Amino acid sequence: MSDFSVTDHNRVRRLPARGRYDRASVYAIVDAGLVCHVGFVADGRPYVIPTLHARDGDVIYLHGASTSRMLRAIEQGAEVCVTVTHIDGLVLAKSVFNHSVNYRSALLFGHGRAVTDPDEKMRALMLITEHLVPGRWDEARLPNAIEMKATGVVAIEIESASAKLREGGPHDDAEDEGLPIWAGVLPLALGPGELQATDYGPALEAPDYLRALTNDKR
């Protein structure tokens, strides 16, 4: 994968050594995230909306109600900023000033368009579903005509992007290193819990693709 061009728009200014501009690094962060935040301006006011996403090459697909303010703004050509962030650990130094966070973040800029082609729209919804739970699309009932009409989908062409990462332990001042205060990293991770079936419909064994996500070896 090629690198994104570094411009005043996407340049990492604070601690630039943590910046990344190669697509592989940026897209790994995007693809590992379940939720993105979309920043845009509508009617002269700024908004940041959390939503689900899926990436296909240099395109980010978003969906929502067909009347969504966010989707309408994107369809009308507003420039958008999409962010994805992971918190991997709390970095606990001996001084409060030197506390930090281990993180991975991606910042994407681009313009979008309404997805009106029925095949592309259905494929975008499949990508979003499969991004969340691989295997779900083939089992669940697919959207019907009424549901498709009520759902809007936009495609954002990623024109510029960057990533920023921190990893490792704390960096205390030399005069603080001997203080009798615990210092180190508290790792954090998001992961699946135990499956919780509905209380309606037939009682069914969870499918293999869901058990695999929860490490259920039954």
Residues recorded for the chain: 218
> Is 82 within the bounds of a domain?
yes
- The pTM assigned to this predicted structure is 0.92
- As a whole number of angstroms, the distance between CA 101 and CA 215 comes to 29
The residue range of the domain holding 31 is: 16-170
> Is 126 within the bounds of a domain?
yes
pLDDT of residue 214: 86
For position 51, which CATH number holds?
2.30.110.10
Instruction: Find tokens 């001084």 and name the residue.
Output: 95
pLDDT digits (tens, 9 = 90+) for 128-170: 999 999 999 999 999 999 999 999 999 999 999 999 999 999 9
> Is 9 within the bounds of a domain?
no
> Is 211 within the bounds of a domain?
no
> Is 25 within the bounds of a domain?
yes
> Is 57 within the bounds of a domain?
yes
Straight-line distance from the first to the last Cα atom of the chain, in angstroms, rounded to the nearest whole number? 40
- As a whole number of angstroms, the distance between CA 41 and CA 22 comes to 28
pLDDT digits (tens, 9 = 90+) for 59-113: 999 999 999 999 999 999 889 999 999 999 999 999 999 999 999 999 999 999 9
Contacts of 144 (CB under 8 A, 6+ apart): none
Number of domains present in the structure of the chain: 1
